Amino acid sequence: MHQVDREAGYELLSQVAGLELYDLATEYTDRSGGIMRISFRIDEEDVETSAFGLIFALGVMSFHDARPRGVSEMHFVEKDEWHVGDMLRHLRYEYGMLRFYADYVRGRMMKTSIEIDQDSVVKLQTVGRARVAEGWVARLQGKQKLKLLPHAE
């Protein structure tokens, strides 16, 4: 990863430090390998300063935990990182909402969507990932410790 991209990523992650997440609802169904829907709210004043950082942080965790499925294995690289450009390629502003959706990225099945609406409600959904997204939200809330992983240059 280029130094500028890494610095931009760190800046986005710093936006999430200390961000309060307020649980609204969690729903899980076993069909399609597991569909997880988590809704939470952030403070209204934090949307402007933290929305991109929140999406980036969830993208980092989703990418890290994602594994290949089927033929995507031929594109999978074990030591790969989520980049700011990856987030931007999957980000849209539609119908008054900031929306992110990533299906397969470089051989990893992410199947992760994130929406942040004008009322500061965040909706996170994963398909085929079991209940892994609960851990991402718990880490952001400080309920699970983040571990610094060894980094390959």
Residue extents of the structural domains in the chain: 3-140
**Average pLDDT, integer, range 8-35:** 92
Question: Which helix (H) or strand (E) is 134 found in, with range?
Answer: helix 132-140
pLDDT digits (tens, 9 = 90+) for 31-59: 878 999 999 999 999 999 999 999 999 99
d(CA 107, CA 67): 8
Cβ atoms of residues 83 and 1 within 8 Å: yes
**Average pLDDT, integer, range 124-137:** 95
Report the pLDDT value the prediction gives residue 145, as an integer from 0 to 100.
53
Q: Please, which pLDDT band fits residue 29 given cuts at 50, 70 and 90? A: very high
Q: What is the mean pLDDT of the chain?
A: 89
d(CA 97, CA 144): 29
